[in-house]
Amino acid sequence: GDSVTQMEGPVTLSEEAFLTINCTYTATGYPSLFWYVQYPGEGLQLLLKATKADDKGSNKGFEATYRKETTSFHLEKGSVQVSDSAVYFCALSDQGGSYIPTFGRGTSLIVHP
């Protein structure tokens, strides 16, 4: 079945550092790929998405590129802020199936001033 693997956290960075959170996936079809973010005490919010190979999703300075050859969708940001501290979830949904996403375990990001 479909699955998503994320790097384990927490990831601890200083403000203005470069961020990478790795995500790889296994899927039988051609999934859409997502990053969701969960700020403390809140529900998940869609951060960005990509629906086909080589697509780049971007939002709020975050980017991720759909790499079919490496089955990856790594999240990057050039300069993190304290307000980016949250849990980040990589997810996929099978475009040929039910669209219900499969989530990774989440990666906690802590940004220090």
Partner 1 sequence: SAVISQKPSRDICQRGTSLTIQCQVDSQVTMMFWYRQQPGQSLTLIATANQGSEATYESGFVIDKFPISRPNLTFSTLTVSNMSPEDSSIYLCSVEWDSRDEQYFGPGTRLTVT
**How far, in Å, CA of 28 to CA of 22, rounded?**
20
Beta strand pairing call for 23-26 and 75-77: unpaired
What is the closest distance, in whole angstroms, from the C-beta atom of residue 91 to partner 1 in the complex? 9
Structure tokens that stand for 75 in this block: 């999240």
**How far, in Å, CA of 74 to CA of 93, rounded?**
16
Contact string (CB under 8 A) for partner 1, positions 62-91, x = contact: ---------------------------x--
Question: What residues from 21 to 50 belong to the interface with partner 1 (CB under 8 A)?
Answer: 32, 34, 36, 41-46, 49
Is residue 57 a contact residue for partner 1 (CB under 8 A)?
no
The CA–CA distances, whole Å, from 14 to 18, 19, 48, 62, 80 equal 9, 10, 23, 17, 8
Structure tokens that stand for 76 in this block: 């990057």
Is residue 109 a contact residue for partner 1 (CB under 8 A)?
no
Is residue 14 a contact residue for partner 1 (CB under 8 A)?
no
What is the closest distance, in whole angstroms, from the C-beta atom of residue 20 to partner 1 in the complex? 20
Which spans of this chain sit near partner 1 (rule: CB under 8 A)?
32, 34, 36, 41-46, 49, 51, 89, 93, 95, 99-101, 103-106
